[in-house]
Amino acid sequence: MVGSEAIEADLKSQPSINGQETAAKHQESGANGGSRRLQDEEFDRYSRQMIVPGMGKEGQLRLINSRVLIIGAGGLGCPAAQYIAGAGIGTIGIVDGDVAEASNLHRQVGHSTARIGMKKVNSLIQHLEGLNPLPTYVPYPYQLTPQNAADIISQYDLVMDCTDNPITRYLISDICVLLGKPLVSAAAVQKSGQLIVLNCPPTPQGLVDGKYAPCYRCCFRKPPPPSSMVSCGEAGIMGPVVGMMGVAQAGEAIKILASALHIPPEADTDNTNTPERNLQQPTLLIYTYDLDSAVGPYSFRALKMGGRKRNCFACGENSTLTLEGIKAGVPDYVQFCSVPTSSVNLPPEERITAAAYHLAKESGELSEHILIDTREKEHFSFGSIEGAVNTPFSKFLMKAAAIKRDGSPASEILPAESGESDKPIFVVCRTGIDSQEAVEKLKELGLDNRGKRRIVDIMGGMKAWKEEVDPAFPYI
């Protein structure tokens, strides 16, 4: 500790300037720190960081002069913002249009019970100001769109993608390519997360070579299948998983900014920031949290990714992507990512409202019927309609495929106690999407006996059950 204290004292012995500088002055002093000197309060706050080998006073000045945009104030954005603010980034912009909810708090550690209902952006900034009042915090309490993305992102040196959907991820990456901004992107769901640094150092669109850093489209040319695109609200999320990814994002951002890797080649007058010198093998970091194991609860894997792709839609040599086109709706990100919607449109006679089902059941009209609940077992465990049998949708589809492939009796997909009867079948899921597909599959397997047997979807699923029948039902 003696050595560290001596280094700190030596750093602090330099002359300081009086008064607080605004974010604008920080920006004017240049990415490499310029002639600005650290203030006493900054020495006290950042000294333990500055004495780390490789950081020093110059690295800290670069952080203070940097502007970081965090898109998403949720499970990734909260821990990322805390460490970015703690490190002393001069200006921090935060984009998010949602409000804080009780279900967020187990992982979104920048919010609190007292701030439930507040805009997430304002809640997180209030938390960050208590942690470090020195940075300038800029709120954007609305969603990022193709129309406003370029105007917002253009004001920052580095972007942190802390969102939870492919549509926004592709939009952010495209804008970062066109504006020459490095991007630190992460994602997490259930028990796993991933992290990748993109477009760093920034390279002009169309300049293609294996040594240049890729963009998001280079690594993920096509979005994931619509059926796999589920939110944390649908699939669940472990707080430590998303927290780990958010902290890792902050670490990468600090490293990039402190070493000036965010400076585009054309602005690097010292010629010390060339892709040939600084670009390492692009790596996708995958983190897995084993909830079922008492020993070895987590693991990291690093997958090597290629450099820029010559035929990439966004950064390739023949790319026609432009800021003007994005604002005008080209490309159509929603269509490209094929946001999941029900591919089945059942006729009215094959659907029933939750209230109508409840009334028919209570009146005795449905005393003999089969009710299949296709929610995952974790959702089902919190509560269900009396008499429901749980067949998770993923297992339901596997059974249906096996029956078609092997020629097994179609009745094997039904609960064992249902036998070969012609009892009506009702299907319910979480929100009324999976259940429609399940009804269609049951009919395809011939279980409707050529229209003689009734197979019906409960509209709106258990969400509608809570709204129309039982307000106390623990819908999750």
103 labeled binding residue? yes
Closest Cα partner for 31 from 198, 290, 278, 268?
268
Residue 444 phi, psi (nearest 5) = -60, -30
Q: Active site includes 219?
A: no
Given 200, 219, 232, 337, which residue is catalytic? Answer: 232
78 labeled binding residue? no
Rounded-to-integer distance, Cα 392 and Cα 78, Å: 33
Rounded-to-integer distance, Cα 231 and Cα 226, Å: 12
The torsion region of residue 199 among left (phi > 0), alpha (psi -120 to 50) and beta comes to left
| Strand residues in 120-263 grouped as ranges (E) | 136-140, 158-161, 183-189, 192-198
199 labeled binding residue? no
Closest Cα partner for 424 from 370, 467, 470, 354?
370
Quick one: the chain helix, strand, coil %, rounded to 5?
40, 15, 45
Please classify residue 278 by burial: count the beta carbons closer than 10 Å to its beta carbon, then call 0-12 exposed, 13-18 middle and 19+ buried. Answer: middle
Q: Which amino acid makes up residue 99? A: V
75 labeled binding residue? yes
∠ CA 191-196-199, rounded to 5°: 160
296 labeled binding residue? no
120 labeled binding residue? yes
Given 78, 162, 219, 429, which residue is catalytic? Answer: 429
Three-class SS of residue 240? helix
User: Which string of DSSP letters, residue by residue, matches 255-288?
Assistant: HHHHTTTTS-GGG-TTS---HHHHPPPPEEEEEE
162 labeled binding residue? no
Please check whether residue 282 is in contact with residue 183, taking contact to mean a CB–CB distance below 8 angstroms: no
CA distances, 206 to each of 141, 196, 385 (Å):
34, 21, 57
165 labeled binding residue? yes
Please check whether residue 391 is in contact with residue 374, taking contact to mean a CB–CB distance below 8 angstroms: yes
215 labeled binding residue? yes
Which positions are annotated as active-site residues? 232, 429
Residue set of the binding site: 75, 96, 103-107, 120, 164-165, 215, 218, 312, 315
Residue set of the binding site for ATP: 75, 96, 103-107, 120, 164-165
Residue set of the binding site for Zn(2+): 215, 218, 312, 315
